Chain A
Amino acid sequence: MEAMPMLTTRARRGMNTDLALTVRVDAPSPDARAAAEAALTACAEWLEAMERRFSRFLPESELSALNAAAGSTRVVSEDLFTVIALALEAMASTDGLFDPTVLPALRAAGYDHSFDQIGQREVGAAAHGARSAAPRHGRGREVRLDAARRAITLPEGAALDLGGIAKGWAADALAARFLDPFPAYLIDLGGDMRVRGGPKPGTPWLIAIEDAREAPMLGAKEAASSGPRYLAGMHVSAGAVATSGDARRWWLRDGRRMHHLIHPHTGEPVRTDDGRTDDGRRLVAVTALAPTAAEADVLAKVAFLRGAPDGLRWLARGAASAGVCAFADGSLEASENLEEYLHAMALSPAHP
């Protein structure tokens, strides 16, 4: 009798979000099961190490040390250098819509503790006092990278937040470093996903788009017994998926609703009540699909900032990405190339 494929999943809390890793083994012998378990254990340990390296909320993290050393040159680890270089490339390629130097602006908006601590709560009025003369964002061009020495120089007063790309990069790294030997895997880091194959040979993964309008408070257990609601699903067998929007990561500052997506022109959280669509519907979230999770992570944020329908057209340019917009009235709009994109990714030789 033909052996049934076996799925092994490891789920945990980390990086201030829910993480889940699934791998498929097609000939589930004891050795194969042990290899799957060992790989997932290695992934979990690696993710913990990456959180200690990249979290701006941990004073002892490598990123916090780099931010504290702004104005001087600091040699960093290969992974941190790689992610910062990726983030700066993304900033350049999106004309600053993606901005890793936005941390001072986030802090000014009240996002100076992890979302587990401030999520959808009042954080109090902004502190009074002399405001720093240094710009709070848009300083990517001032960051100096020395690849030969792996050295980074942040300008005085600048600080980096890698939350917009680190989870995506981590998903890609997990796929390449730990899960490549497996015929199929599904990496889910807080909704940033990287996949290959499906739950059984010849079947793609079914990835749902959550309804962000009813997202439970971050850090709390699911309140509804029925679980999350889904707007639609996609059959994805290769590449990555990520979603961005303003419906989840928000808090109150002096009674005013703030969220984590900073407008590159104003340095303030993007206004949530301006529609940002051509037809008056309020855009709630954008889901982006791309070959890598780091790209999808960036594209989702930038597409959201661009609004609808411009964000969708931008995602569909060049056929290297696709996307879906979700609106406050529950409607969805997919880029014209979504089906073609999913098909092309499935047939790509890089993604068996």
Chain B
Amino acid sequence: MNAPPPTGGSEQVPAGGQPAAPDPRHPPAPAYAPPPAARSRAARSNWALRLVAGVLSALAFLGFWQLAAHTPRSSGNGYAPPAGTSGGLVQPGSFGGPPNGSTRIS
């Protein structure tokens, strides 16, 4: 029964499970290496792209933060925790006048 064809990867593994030893009569082709000048241009280009991407990301983040900081928390009837409120409670000294009503044991 023939071994199934390889489905991918850079190495063909025979049915035995071990990669074949390199044939000295046909050394593997060297990996592609661009010339030094080209590497430098590519490196500078990548670096520049990364810088631009980083700046744009920072600007987007700052823009969002500014928007969030200045967006009112309330809408509709305009509720927002007034000054002097802590955890939902207002101290009597911060009422600013008589309350509109009071809850008491009914």
Contact = CB atoms under 8 A, between A and B. Distances in A.
Interface of A: 17, 20, 22, 167, 186, 188-193, 195, 197-199, 201-210, 212, 215, 228, 230-235, 237, 241-245, 247-249, 285, 287, 297, 322, 324, 332, 334, 338-339, 341-343, 346-347, 349, 351-352
A207 B74 contact: no
B106 A208 contact: no
Contacts of B77: 197-198, 201-202, 204, 237, 346, 351-352
Contact of A189 (B79, B81, B88, B106): B106
A260 to B, nearest CB: 9
B9 interface: no
A186 B89 CA distance: 19
Nearest to B79: A346
B103 A347 contact: no
A197 B78 CA distance: 10
Contact of B106 (A167, A204, A235): A167
Contacts of B73: 343
Nearest to A346: B79
B24 interface: no
Interface of B: 73-79, 81-82, 85, 87-92, 95, 99-106
Contacts of B82: 235
Given A203-B78, A347-B76, A215 B105 contact: yes
B66 to A, nearest CB: 23
A343 B79 contact: yes
Interface of A is mostly: strand
A233 B95 contact: yes
Contacts of B100: 22, 186, 198-199, 205-207
Question: Which one of A22, A188, A245 has the greatest number of beta carbons of chain B within 10 Å?
Answer: A188
B55 to A, nearest CB: 37
Contacts of A247: 105
B86 to A, nearest CB: 8
Contacts of B89: 232-234, 324, 332, 334, 338
Contacts of A207: 99-103
Contacts of B78: 201-203
Given A197-B77, A205-B100, A207-B100, A248 B88 contact: no
A17 B106 CA distance: 8
B106 A234 contact: no
Contacts of B95: 206, 208, 230, 233
Contacts of A188: 101-102
Contact of A233 (B74, B81, B92, B104): B92
A325 to B, nearest CB: 12
Given A204-B79, A347-B74, A235 B90 contact: yes
Given A189-B106, A201-B77, A233-B91, 17 more contacts: A17-B106, A167-B106, A193-B101, A207-B103, A208-B92, A208-B99, A208-B102, A208-B103, A215-B104, A232-B89, A232-B90, A232-B91, A235-B82, A235-B90, A244-B105, A339-B85, A346-B79
Contacts of B103: 191-193, 207-210, 241-243, 287
B79 A237 contact: yes
A189 B103 CA distance: 9
A208 B92 CA distance: 8
Contact of B88 (A191, A228, A234, A351): A234
Q: 4 nearest interchain CB pairs?
A: A346-B79, A202-B78, A338-B88, A339-B88
A352 B95 CA distance: 24
A290 to B, nearest CB: 12
Given A197-B77, A231-B92, A339 B87 contact: yes
Given A208-B95, A338-B87, A228 B106 contact: no
B75 A208 contact: no
Contacts of A297: 106
